[in-house]
């Protein structure tokens, strides 16, 4: 599939660019190019970890060399600590501590409840058929005091448990954040390929069960390589962000928009007919074409961005791979038709010739 | 000592390996992201025979290293992405479980509060002894039920804590993988420092003996100069293995720096530590290192070793300093020997 080769190449280009930047930094700072420090400066070159970049910039402003101790510390603080395993470990530690606190809390609450019960019974043992009303009043007073005190204890316990509950829901949020991060493309902020792979399987399962129509859009930015070559990778990144934003604005919450590869995107449309999907595809094509790319620093216009889009609908019983392949084939067809257009597959002609072309 | 005591990695060597790795990546048209770079770096440096074999097999099969193959090899030889997802799910499940248990605790004591309020009201309006006794029985009964529930919840919480400890351990292992030296497969300095801190804490708390040993390859730079990097690397690997075997279960070994190995010997008194160091020194001395190509010996390989006993008041820094002092003395006195310190004053005994 022609598209797949192109997709990989662009990933390769950008990654190679960052790799070369990283090695250049390592050379300049006389830091050994071991994998860990390569990763450190690769992340620095990618510029997506703001805290890392701020720290390295500060360090570089002063010296012209970076000791291995400093490099190791930077790695630990900004790269390793940012990794999901470090964050999850931190959650595990906090959760362990919270459990310890609650266990202790419950123990002391249990102890005081027991002590309360005992003292109450001791006092009430004084009660009998011969108890005078004065004696009764005194005993009742004692019982009441003890009960009120226990109620205070118990109330305090409830508050501390509520506090624990709050801490735990913070931890739940942390975990959720880690999960979301692992599913999000750091550059554009939309779901990543991993999420898409999960999503397409979920959507197919659902379509199998409900019988509702399911469509897939495969979207590719026209001449993306040229943008990178002509204007640099930073501009290329800007184009990706712009396109992602424009698409996001046109996609409903229940549809899944994802970055499929280097400059390729995909949209999973549940409960949508082929016709509806084609209409949305055209809408998106126009929305993106309507945006002019302007270089912020100089104000010069860098032209317009156009998309080629392939639209396919799920056939009952087919695999995710098959659906993707067919949508890809339509995308390839759109390119062949001259780009800046959408091509939806048709069931009428087996070779899938029909498509709509923009004027 | 070969002047590289402070810095762990050699700049020029790393640069040569890195450039070679990048060339491979270009040749295979494999995107040089950090994971793939690490894979090819380790392959180029020849650190891991199994890894290199796997890479070559994959290249042979497809004419290049495909992204799919690279991902598989990274999972196998670097750090697995799979167990992360498992740990994540496990933790998520535990957090939910604990949340539910705290909910139940809140409910139980909420219920108790209601009983206590009722009892208080009852006591205020109570007019006879029998009624009073009834109120007491009711509220004590409620209390007992809550105590029962509390015990049950505590059991469940402790169970969850146990499961979380398991998850934490696997996460720690995942995280620590990044500080494993690919050549010797030993942990590096960062991990070592952490472990030493823990070991000292333990020795302090339980008043058990603890010794530290640091072994340094004598005149190591010479091997690299005379016979080339691979011989040097092979010697390092062989010595690392010997150190690990000698220490065995007695403690943790690390590659402390370029040509230095450190070992934390827990529950070990100085005499035993000295014996261990001496035995190690003898083993390395008697080992013959030969060039594979010619069968000729590369000469004697010797260790200088410093050993120190943990003394009350020691911090990791002071203990390491004292051990290093012993090591320096061993070097000064002619190398290929062990020097130790029984107390905070260095002993010169032979």
Q: Please write down the long-range contacts of A46-49, taking CB distance under 8 Å and 24 or more positions apart.
A: A46/A18, A48/A186, A48/A187, A49/A78, A49/A79, A49/A82
Q: Helix, strand, or coil here: A337?
A: coil
Q: Percent of chain A scored above 90 by pLDDT?
A: 63
B274-300 pLDDT, tens digit each: 999 999 999 999 998 887 777 888 888
* pLDDT at site B81: 64
* pLDDT at site A176: 92
* pLDDT at site A48: 86
Which has more confidence, B303 or B195? Answer: B303
Q: Is the pLDDT of residue A295 over 80?
A: no
Q: Which residues touch B62 (CB under 8 Å, ≥6 apart)?
A: B69
pTM of whole model > 0.80? no
Q: Is the pLDDT of residue B202 over 90?
A: no
Tell which of A40, A89, A101, A135 to mutate to test the B interface (max B CBs under 10 Å): A89
* pLDDT at site A10: 45
Tell which of B178, B187, B190 to mutate to test the A interface (max A CBs under 10 Å): B178
The predicted model gives B58-75 an average pLDDT of 89
pLDDT band of B158, cuts 50, 70, 90: very high
pLDDT band of B55, cuts 50, 70, 90: very high
Predicted complex ipTM: 0.76
Q: Which residues touch B153 (CB under 8 Å, ≥6 apart)?
A: A106, B101, B104, B105, B108
* pLDDT at site B8: 63
pLDDT band of B349, cuts 50, 70, 90: very low
117-176 in chain B: CB under 8 A from chain A:
117, 119-120, 123-124, 126, 128-129, 132-133, 135-136, 139-140, 143-144, 146-147, 150-151, 153-154, 157-158, 160-161, 164-165, 167-168, 171-172, 174-175
Q: Is the pLDDT of residue B3 over 50?
A: no
DSSP-assigned states of every residue in A102-169: HHHHHHHHHHHHHHHHHHHHHHHTT--TT--HHHHHHHHHHHHHHHHHHHHHHHHHHHHHHHHHHHHH
The predicted model gives A174-186 an average pLDDT of 91
Alpha helices in chain A (DSSP H): 2-29, 35-46, 50-62, 68-74, 84-124, 133-182, 193-210, 224-231, 233-250, 274-289, 320-336
Tokens representing residue A262 in the block: 């280097």
Comparing alpha-carbon positions, the chain B residue that sits nearest to A91 is B91
Q: Is the pLDDT of residue A356 over 60?
A: no
Q: Is the pLDDT of residue B247 over 70?
A: yes
**Strand-pair partners of A342:** A309, A356
* pLDDT at site B345: 59
pLDDT band of A63, cuts 50, 70, 90: low
Helix axes B270-286, B229-247, angle to 10 degrees: 140
* pLDDT at site B61: 92
Q: How many other CB atoms are found less than 10 A from the CB of residue B298?
A: 18
Q: Is the pLDDT of residue A5 over 50?
A: no
Contact A301, A292 (CB under 8 A): yes
Q: Percent of chain A scored above 70 by pLDDT?
A: 93
Can you say how many angstroms the Cα of residue A210 is from the centroid of all Cα atoms in its chain?
28
Contact A233, A272 (CB under 8 A): no
Task: Report CA dihedral (B137, B140, B145, B148) to the nearest 10 degrees.
Answer: -130
Dihedral sign for Cα B99, B100, B104, B110, please.
Answer: positive
Distance from CA of A165 to the nearest CA of B (A): 6
Taking an 8 Å cut-off on Cβ atoms, the answer to whether B95 and A154 are in contact is no
* Mean confidence (pLDDT) of chain B: 88
Taking an 8 Å cut-off on Cβ atoms, the answer to whether B37 and A157 are in contact is no
DSSP-assigned states of every residue in B250-305: GEEEEEEETTEEEEEEET--HHHHHHHHHHHHHHHHH---B-TTT--B-----EEE
């Amino acid at each position: 599939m022609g598209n797949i080769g192109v997709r990989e190449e662009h990933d390769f280009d950008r990654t190679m660019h960052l790799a070369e930047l990283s090695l250049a930094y390592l050379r300049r700072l006389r830091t050994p190019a071991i994998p860990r420090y390569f990763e450190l400066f690769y992340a620095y070159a990618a510029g997506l970890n703001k805290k890392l970049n701020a720290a390295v910039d500060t360090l570089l402003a002063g010296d012209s060399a970076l000791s291995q101790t400093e490099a190791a510390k930077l790695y630990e603080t900004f790269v390793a600590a940012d990794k999901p395993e470090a964050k999850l470990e931190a959650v595990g530690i906090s959760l362990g501590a919270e459990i310890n606190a609650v266990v202790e809390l419950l123990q002391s609450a249990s102890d005081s409840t027991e002590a309360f019960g005992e003292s109450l019974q001791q006092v009430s043992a004084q009660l009998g058929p011969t108890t005078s009303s004065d004696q009764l009043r005194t005993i009742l007073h004692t019982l009441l005091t003890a009960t009120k005190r226990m109620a205070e204890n118990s109330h305090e316990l409830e508050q501390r448990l509520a506090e624990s509950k709050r801490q735990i829901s913070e931890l739940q949020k942390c975990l959720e954040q880690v999960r979301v991060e692992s599913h999000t493309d750091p550059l554009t902020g939309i779901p990543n390929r991993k999420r898409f792979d999960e999503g397409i399987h979920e959507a197919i399962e659902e379509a199998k069960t409900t019988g509702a129509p399911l469509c897939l859009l495969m979207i590719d930015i026209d001449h993306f390589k040229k943008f990178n070559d002509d204007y640099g990778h930073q501009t290329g990144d800007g184009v990706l962000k712009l396109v992602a934003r424009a698409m996001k604005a046109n996609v409903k919450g229940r549809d899944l928009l994802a970055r499929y590869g280097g400059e390729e995107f995909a949209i999973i449309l549940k409960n949508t007919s082929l016709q509806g999907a084609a209409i949305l595809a055209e809408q998106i094509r126009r929305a993106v074409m309507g945006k002019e790319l302007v270089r912020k620093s100089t104000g010069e216009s860098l032209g317009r961005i156009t998309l080629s889009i392939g639209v396919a609908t799920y056939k009952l019983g087919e695999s995710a791979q098959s659906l993707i392949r067919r949508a890809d084939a339509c995308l390839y067809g759109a390119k062949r038709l001259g780009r800046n257009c959408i091509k939806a597959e048709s069931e009428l002609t087996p070779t899938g010739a029909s498509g709509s072309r923009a004027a | 000592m070969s002047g590289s005591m402070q810095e762990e990695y050699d700049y020029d060597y790393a640069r040569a390996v890195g450039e070679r790795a990048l060339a491979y990546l270009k040749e295979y048209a494999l995107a040089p992201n950090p994971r793939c770079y690490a894979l090819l770096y380790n392959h180029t440096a020849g650190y891991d025979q199994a890894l290199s074999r796997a890479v070559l097999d994959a290249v042979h099969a497809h004419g290049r290293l495909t992204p799919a193959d690279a991902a598989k090899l990274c999972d196998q030889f670097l750090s697995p992405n799979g167990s992360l997802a498992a740990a994540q799910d496990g933790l998520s499940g535990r957090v939910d479980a604990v949340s539910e248990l705290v909910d139940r605790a809140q409910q139980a004591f909420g219920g108790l509060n209601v009983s206590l309020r009722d009892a208080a009201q009852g006591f205020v309006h109570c007019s006879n002894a029998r009624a009073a006794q009834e109120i007491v029985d009711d509220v004590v009964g409620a209390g007992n039920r809550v105590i029962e529930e509390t015990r049950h919840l505590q059991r469940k919480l402790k169970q969850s804590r146990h499961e979380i400890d398991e998850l934490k351990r696997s996460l720690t292992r995942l995280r620590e993988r990044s500080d494993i030296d690919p050549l010797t497969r030993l942990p590096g300095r960062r991990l070592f420092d952490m472990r030493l801190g823990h070991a000292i804490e333990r020795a302090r708390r339980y008043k058990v003996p603890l010794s530290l040993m640091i072994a340094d390859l004598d005149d190591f730079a010479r091997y690299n100069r005379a016979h080339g990097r691979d011989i040097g690397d092979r010697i390092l690997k062989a010595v690392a293995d010997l150190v690990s075997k000698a220490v065995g279960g007695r403690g943790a070994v690390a590659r402390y720096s370029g040509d230095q190995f450190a070992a934390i010997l827990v529950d070990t008194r100085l005499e035993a530590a000295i014996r261990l160091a001496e035995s190690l020194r003898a083993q390395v001395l008697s080992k013959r290192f030969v060039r594979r190509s010619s069968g000729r010996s590369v000469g004697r390989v010797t260790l200088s070793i410093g050993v120190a006993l943990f003394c009350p008041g020691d911090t990791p820094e002071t203990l390491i300093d004292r051990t290093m002092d012993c090591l320096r003395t061993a070097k000064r006195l002619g190398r290929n020997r062990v020097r130790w310190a029984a107390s905070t004053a260095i002993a010169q005994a032979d």
